[in-house]
Structure formats: structure tokens, C-alpha cells
Amino acid sequence: MSSYRNLAGSMLLGLAAAGIAHAQAPTPSAATAPADPHLWLEEVLGDKPLAWVKQHNAVTTKELEARPGFSALQARLKTILNSKERIPYVSKEGEYYYNFWRDAQHVRGIWRRTTLAQYQLAEPAWETVIDLDQLAAGEHENWVWGGASCLYPKGERCLISLSRGGGDAKVVREYDVAKRAFVDGGFTLPEAKGSASWIDQDTLFVSTDFGPGTMTSSGYPRIIKEWQRGTPLTQAHTLYEAKADDLSAGAYKDFTPGYEHQFIERQIDFYSGEMFLRDGADLKKVPKPDDATAFTVRDQLIITLRSDWKVNGKTYLQGSLLATDFKAFMQGKQDLEVLYAPTATSSLDNVTPTKSTILVTTLDKVKNRLTELRHVNGKWQRRAVDAPKLGTLAVSALDPVDSDQYFLTVTDFLNPTTLYLATAQSDKRTKIKSLPAYYDAAPYKVEQFESTSKDGTKVPYFAIMNKKTKLDGSNPTVLYGYGGFEVSLKPSYSGTTGVAWLEKGGVYVLANIRGGGEFGPRWHQAALKENRQRAYDDFISVAQDLIKRKVTSPRHLGIMGGSNGGLLTGAVLVQRPDLFNAVVSQVPLLDMRRYNKMLAGASWMGEYGDPDVAEQWAYISKYSPYQNVFKDKKYPRVLFTTSTRDDRVHPGHARKMVAKMEEQGHDVLYWENTEGGHAGAANNDQQALMWALTYTFLLEQLK
């Protein structure tokens, strides 16, 4: 089962990292860019670039680690991140519930399991299945956990993914849980950006790097094969080939008894794709709109619309959730039922099937609501679930094929995240786990405000501050944003933010700007491509509103964002440097002239546009940070952070921006973790260091 859409954040800026250790800085052609004197910094593991990184890391850590309170903050963050009181989230495989866990004793982590009865105890008895620290030491590899996919329903055989240093490129190896050992002669895939999924115990769907010509221009697999046990991968049977300029291709099986369908998906770009039902040797296209997402739940096909869809004279609105009989739909009958339709203030957030229901999570003014849908005697029945009305709700089915039980996670800015066990058709739930209060939240309050963007659009944002905060413009304030790929920023509890910022007297602000998904596809599409500036205008409007309300002032206001949010802060940095006194840009895109040539950047052209097309470069060039930073402008101080092993966003973006700004005489700091992938850190200790550096920088600049 899958949610109604792929979370863009998980695939955002993804890339094929096989061969990253040998990546060389490509030479730009005259058609793509003028000469770039800092192009050499794109050589990820070159001796000269790494020496540059080492030098800059030394400068940054020397300054920030010497600040009063740094060591104490880092130690406290380590305690939070390694706390044994964290919620150990689980997934069900067979009769057991599995969790991957890191702490001070298990730096790389352990994959462990328990029973549901044990899990409900305060101190569950866990069985270690894989000790990653031991495995890495025994194999002399820098293994970082990449996940497990186990064969339904017993979960006795699993495909284990491992990456070197935390990148997205992974090795896949078959594991026998009962024997606690990798299967000798079992299914094994070499390191690549790809995947494998079970068809049965002796057969897999495989999408990986099969050699020259088998990957898309974005660096993802484009060929789906069926691989039989006991045969070499080279003899796997080809089922489907996507086009070279598509984003990717994938395949999966629905294991629901009686509805055991196999699907192949062609992802054309980030927001459109085709879906095929495998019927023997034939592939039958599912006749949904290309930009709609769909999946089956027993006899029903569930469809989510990104655009209006006209069918038989009726228009179904973008952002709607539809259902139809799958068999009839494949036969050409388009009898669609609306399960949810958006309003001016609400949108679809997620869809989670259980054995007999569908749990629909919606957002209303960036606050979650939960509804239960049941298909009974050909009719859909709905029931509002009595759940907390403030904050964020997340639903996870224990076993969507065979159980109506689900986990409900409840979180907001000030109340520790709590996990409940619930059952469909009932409002009763049992509290299973809860985070401890990492800081005293009693002195703080949360308020939701609106700013007015340049074009008149109202932009909501949350502000967390001390109840005694004086509105005199003197409060150190961090404004965080993302604004892309239809990703919604929702309230959540963070011990790190509480300890490192709120307790220090800071105000924390979360902006729900366009480009995100807080108000559905329309909110996202309003800031696509030629309209990208709207996201930056929204963010600027929130900053201006905070200043107008005297929550803060430019002297005390900083901004922070990562990935696409790093691009956001970079763009706003060069456009309105007068509004801020500190900028944190994490694992960012910054050189938008070359982003589509740096690793898998081509996969994001559906979001930003193609800089090699003159008409599109005309609008991209206006906000691309690397092309719009100038010597004669005064900028606030910036901390750029990234990771050598980030195989989503090329570290060359941040490296080159720092080199250019230094060349122009601007004051910047730079820190590059040598492992950790797109998350910026591979373990809890690295996370503690990264956040201690970040918040120390912000406090020093804004206090």
C-alpha cells in the first residue's frame, strides 16, 4: 500500500550516486553557462576541493566551538538525540514489529523487533536482528542503514538496503531473519540508485543500473525487470522501459488476497506519470490523468487529482479524492465517487488504508482532521474521528491487508509527541508511547498569523515565543521555510528547537508559503517555474509582518531552510539582505544555471524549469542565488552547511557560493560534514554537532 502521493521530500533532489567517489567537475558548454572559475569545487572527492573543505571547516568550528555555552549545548543535544525515551516507531513484518534504533551505544544503529504486547509496555523486550556497528566493523565498510523490505505476509525474508556514508545509492542484500544472516547466494544488487521489491519468495521486481543507457537523464533506473532466484541478474527478464528523459520507473505488488495486482509505474516527471496493470505478458494502462496519483484498495481504485478532470460532462476539482470500481474502470466505465473535495481553507493531506476502511487526513488552516471512510454494500460511509483539533495527526496502519488497527501520532509545537494505538470504527485509543518533555514548555505560546504577499495573497505562519515576550523589535527570531514540491510544513514538537532556541530567548517562526502543499495542489502550483518568485515574495512578506508587529527587527531576524529551503534562503538573501542579520542555508541548491547538470538535477525541472531553454532561464536567472550575489552589496552573515556524501543536492552548490562570496569580500561561514547524505549527518552525534553549530551561529548573530 502507498499513500495517495509520493512525498516529494523523500525523493526531492534525489540522484544516482553510483560513482560519486569518482565524480569529476564537468566542463560547461557555451550553450549552458559562461566560464565558472569555481567549477573545480564540483569535483566531490577531489584532493583540492577536500582540502578547501577541511580549511573552511576548521575556521567555522574554531569560531563557533569557542563561543560560551557551545559545549554545554552540544552535550545537551546529544542527550536528546540519544535519549532512550524517544519513541521507537515500528512497522509490522509477519508477527513482529520492527524498529531501527540509534543511541550512544549503537552509533550506526540496530534493527530490532518485538511483539505488539511487548511494544505496549514501558520497557519492551527487544530482539536485535542486525547490529549495524558490528556489521560495518566486520566488513570494513562505512555502512549506513537504508531500510528493509520484507516478503508479505510472514516477513521471514527481507531485502536490506545499505549505503556507504549515508548516500541514496545503496547495496541491496537478501536477509534470512530466522537465521540472522544474509542469504548465501541470495538476491544481491550492487551499489546503485535503484530498488527491488518482492513478487514472491523466488521472484523480484528490479530497477537498477543495468549498464550504459539503462538510467534516465535524471540518474534513476528506467528499466523494470523480473529476476528469478538462482539466475544471474544479467538474465533478468525486461518488463518495461521508460524513456531516457523520463524521471524514473518502478514496480510493486499489492498482496491483498483476491486482489493481488502487479503494477508498473512510469514517472514522466515529478508531477506526472503513467500506471500499468500487469496482466500476464501484457501491460494495461490505467486510464487516469497523467498528473493524478492512484492506488488500489481491494476492489477500489483511489485517485487524487492535481488538476481539474472532466469526465462525462462533469468536472472533478483538483485536490479531490476519488474512488471507483477498479475492474469496471479498466473496462472503460468511469463511474467516479468523490470521497473528498477541497475548500478555500482545506486540503487533502494523506490517505491510509486499513483492512476495511480508508483513513483520510486533511488540513484545515494547517491543522489536521481525520475522517474514516468505509465501502459498504457499494456505498461509501464516512465518520469524523474524534481526534485532537490542534496540531498534526499522522496515521500508520499496522497491517493494511489484514488488520483495522493503526497507530495515531499526535504532535504540536509545545506538547511532546504522543503515539496511540487505535482501531477503525472506534474513537477509543490507547496511549502507547510519548516523548519526554525535553524542555519546560509552560512559559511559551503558539500563535498563528497571516502576512500579505506582494500580490495580495494571505500567507499563514506560526510563531512560538515566550508568553512574556515584549513586542519591542528586540527578540532574536528565526524564520524557517521550505515552499516547494507540495510539501506541507506542519506543527511538530522539537526538543532541539526548544533547548537550543526557545530557552535562549528566541522566537521560532514557521512559514506556510506557496510552493508547499498546505492548501493542496493550487498552493503548490501557484509557485511553479515562472511563478517561483511568489514563494520568495511570501517568505519576505512574513519577515516584513514580523517586523511590523515588532516581534523582531532586521537586526535580530534570521532565516533558515534546507534543500529547496536552502534555495529559498539563498534567493531571499540576495534579494532582501536588508531584512536579516543571519542566514542559514543547509544542503542547498544555489547555482540554478547548472542545477540540471549537477547529478540528478534534471529530475526537478518540473518544479523550477529548464535553464538551458532561453525563455525559462530568463525567469530562473532573476532569482538564482549564485548568479545574483554581487561585490557591491552588503549581505548579512551566512552559514552554509552541506555534506560530502549528499547524493541528492550536490555539495558543489554550497561550496561555489561560499567561494564566490569570499572572493567578493563577504563574511560567510561554511561547514561540510564528510558523511551523512542529504540529512547532513549519519548519526546522532553528527546531528548534535550540526545543530549546535547552527544555533550557536544564530544566537551570536541575533541576540
Catalytically annotated residues: 563, 678
CA 352 to centroid of chain Cα atoms = 18
Distances (CA, A) of 147 to 14, 94, 235: 16, 16, 26
Distance between CA 5 and CA 353 in Å, rounded?
Answer: 13
With the CA atoms of 129, 135, 138 and 144 taken in that order, what torsion angle do they form, in degrees rounded to the nearest 10? 180
For residue 59, how many other CB atoms are within 10 A of its CB?
12
Distances (CA, A) of 195 to 4, 189, 285, 534: 20, 9, 22, 36
CB-count exposure of residue 233 (10 Å: 0-12, 13-18, 19+): middle
Assigned C-alpha cell, 660: 564566490
Assigned C-alpha cell, 400: 493494511
Q: Evaluate the omega torsion of the peptide bond into residue 153 and state whether it is cis, within 30 degrees of 0.
A: yes
Distance between CA 382 and CA 426 in Å, rounded?
Answer: 13
425: left (phi over 0), alpha (psi -120 to 50) or beta: left
Q: Which residues of 174-196 are buried (b: 16+ CB within 10 A; e: fewer)?
A: bbebeeeebeeeebebebbbbbb
Query: How are the residues of the chain apportioned to helix, strand and coil, as percentages rounded to the nearest 5?
Result: 25, 35, 45
Residue 107 near residue 685 (C-beta atoms within 8 A): yes
What is the crossing angle of helices 684-702 and 47-65, to 10°? Answer: 60
Nearest to 384 by CA among 400, 397, 369: 369
Q: Radius of gyration over alpha carbons of the chain, in Å?
A: 25
Nearest to 686 by CA among 648, 645, 639: 645
Map residue 234 onto helix, strand or coil.
helix
Distance between CA 7 and CA 700 in Å, rounded?
Answer: 35
> Where do we find the cell 536485535?
128
CB-count exposure of residue 309 (10 Å: 0-12, 13-18, 19+): buried
Nearest to 111 by CA among 129, 134, 84: 129
For residue 633, how many other CB atoms are within 10 A of its CB?
12
CA 640-14-459 angle, 5° bins: 65
* Per-residue DSSP letter, 66: T
Instruction: Write out the DSSP string of 561-596.
Output: EETHHHHHHHHHHHH-GGG-SEEEEES----TTTGG
Map residue 463 onto helix, strand or coil.
strand
Assigned C-alpha cell, 136: 560495518
Beta bridge partners of 461: 449, 511
Assigned C-alpha cell, 238: 525486461
Residue 485 φ/ψ, nearest 5 degrees:
55, 25
31: left (phi over 0), alpha (psi -120 to 50) or beta: alpha
